[in-house]
Chain A
Amino acid sequence: MKEKNIVFKGTKEGIWIIVNESYPLSQIYEEIDKAIGEAQYFFNGAQVIFDVGDRDLDKTELDNIKEIIVERYHLELIRVEGREWQWKYCPASHDLWEKESKNKLKKDNITGKKDMNNNHYIQNGANALLIKRTIRSGQRVEFDGNVIILGDVNPGSEIIAGGDIIVMGTLRGIAHAGAKGNDNAVVTAFYLKPMQLRIAQYITRAPDGEMQQIVEPEIARVKDGTIMIEKYIPNRDSYGS
């Protein structure tokens, strides 16, 4: 698969512009300029988070980013985000940029299989993808945050989420919650009959032969190093606690 040098991603916070880590910054300005220029309506007045991945930036580089995003296209630059640092433009400060160290939240992708192709970690609950249809064999949903499906997940399909997976229907395919190493992630479904369940680096599969017929919502989570499936109890299992 060819990796793109720049990826745009719409989030609640604004538009993330994610720059491939291995691509030199000096070459990226022109490309970003072109990309924004081509889609000015999309970006019109947008709030932008510029993600540079595992890099440390100096003032000139930050100024260059600001030059394109703020001065040329009149977008609002919320912050420049790296893996370990984030910078906010702040005219009051001494050198115009305020540099903050981030908590190192990101864990390495332990399973090592799926490269999620981005370099920032979104906390549980920060972001969700809502899909109102049935996911069929051969279809694959991959998302950083939580994934909610209003429909079924059929065998032969895959849902891969950085956070939790909630299926308002029957889950019969493969679900991978906490795909970037978050073993607090859970998988919940009205009818939980997955081919295979993965949470962070843990993996379990459906038993061979006849399965117990359970017709109530269930929740899967990691307990003592294995994936446990239990009846979903609304108060106990509610989120945000």
Chain B
Amino acid sequence: MGEVIVITSGKGGVGKTTTTANLGTGLAINGKKVVLIDADIGLRNLDLVMGLENRIVYDLVDVVEENCRLRQALIKDKRFDNLYLLPAAQTRDKDAVSPDQMKKLCVELKKDFDYILIDCPAGIEQGFKNAISGADWAVIVTTPEVSAVRDADRIIGLLEAAEIRNPKLVVNRIKLNLVAQKDMMNINDMIDILAIELLGVVPDDEKIVISTNRGEPAILDEISLSSKSYKNIVRRILGEDVPLMPMEAETTFFGKLKKLIGLGS
């Protein structure tokens, strides 16, 4: 029996879709059978990030409206045979699907897949309600900004109300040098406010922009820091106990120099 995880944030642009693509790909690398569902009907993006846009024939709305069988709408990933995408419809809106239909769909997919990741749209309206309706637990994505943290807090409250317990936090796009200068929100401060378990921290990485535009999830990149962070998050989802990566970055020339010659800082 599979696990349904919704990736949500409240605020837009914090990296839900990127996180979904990377975690899904990561779970697939680990041999799990994974399906990604794009619940952002009308503003779909996950297909682009996965580089699968040109393969879409049927979508989520076709499935719930029974224009096609579920099997027909699932798009197999280019790179992994055990990774699938169920794209959103682009020419419809959120009202085309109801929470009950999503719940039914998740139950159906759980039979065949180990992990079902749902990319939730921004906001707290119909699209959000649809996306969370079938979820077993949630990953909250936030960035170290007061507005994103405020929205994440609101989302956690709504998830509690919907009886989706134990959401876990991914802090995305942290700028290492700013944290070192104490100009950015500290991760501990964020956990203090949100009071949920930290699943991982992903540094701000230009590579993400490149990989997103290419349609290749960044986790496939062997060396980048963001790829390592995603891999660690995946291992934590799989139940391993992985310590947080050291996220300090030297900010000054002298700092770097000191470290180089072994004086520490």
Contact = CB atoms under 8 A, between A and B. Distances in A.
Nearest to B51: A208
Interface residues of B, number: 17
Interface string A138-159: 1110000000000000011110
A205 B90 contact: no
A140 B92 CA distance: 9
Given A208-B51, A208-B78, A138 B42 contact: yes
B85 to A, nearest CB: 14
Contacts of B43: 138
B55 interface: yes
Nearest to B214: A209
B68 interface: yes
B68 A113 contact: yes
A158 B56 CA distance: 12
Q: Of residues A138, A139, A140, A203, which shows the largest number of chain B Cβ atoms within 10 Å of its Cβ?
A: A138
B54 A113 contact: no
B252 interface: no
A155 B68 CA distance: 23
Interface in A147-197: 155-158, 195-196
Contacts of A206: 54
B53 A195 contact: yes
B90 A156 contact: yes
B57 A158 contact: no
A11 interface: no
Given A156-B90, A158-B91, A113 B58 contact: yes
A158 B90 CA distance: 9
Given A196-B56, A208-B51, A113 B62 contact: yes
Nearest to B78: A208
Q: Of residues B43, B44, B53, B67, which shows the largest number of chain A Cβ atoms within 10 Å of its Cβ?
A: B53
Contacts of B53: 155, 195
A196 B91 contact: no
Contact of A113 (B42, B67, B78, B90): B67
A205 B52 CA distance: 10
A194 B139 CA distance: 35
A137 interface: yes
B51 A138 contact: no
A139 B54 contact: no
B57 A203 contact: yes
A138 B91 contact: yes
A156 B62 CA distance: 16
Nearest to B68: A113
Given A208-B51, A208-B78, A139 B58 contact: no
A181 B13 CA distance: 42
A137 B45 CA distance: 11
Interface string B30-45: 0000000000001110
Nearest to B41: A138
Nearest to B65: A1
Contact of A140 (B55, B65, B91): B91
B58 A196 contact: no
A194 to B, nearest CB: 9
A208 B90 contact: no
B165 to A, nearest CB: 35
A140 B62 CA distance: 15
A203 B180 CA distance: 54
A113 B90 CA distance: 16
Q: Of residues A113, A140, A156, A205, which shows the largest number of chain B Cβ atoms within 10 Å of its Cβ?
A: A156
Contacts of B65: 1
Given A157-B90, A196-B54, A208-B78, 19 more contacts: A1-B65, A113-B62, A113-B67, A137-B90, A138-B43, A138-B91, A140-B91, A155-B53, A156-B44, A156-B90, A158-B90, A158-B91, A195-B53, A195-B54, A196-B57, A203-B57, A205-B54, A208-B51, A208-B54
6 contacts: A113-B67, A140-B91, A156-B44, A156-B90, A205-B54, A208-B51
Interface of A: 1, 113, 137-140, 155-158, 195-196, 203, 205-206, 208
Please give me the 8 A-B residue pairs with the lowest Cβ-Cβ distance, nearest first.
Answer: A140-B91, A205-B54, A206-B54, A156-B90, A195-B54, A138-B90, A138-B91, A196-B54
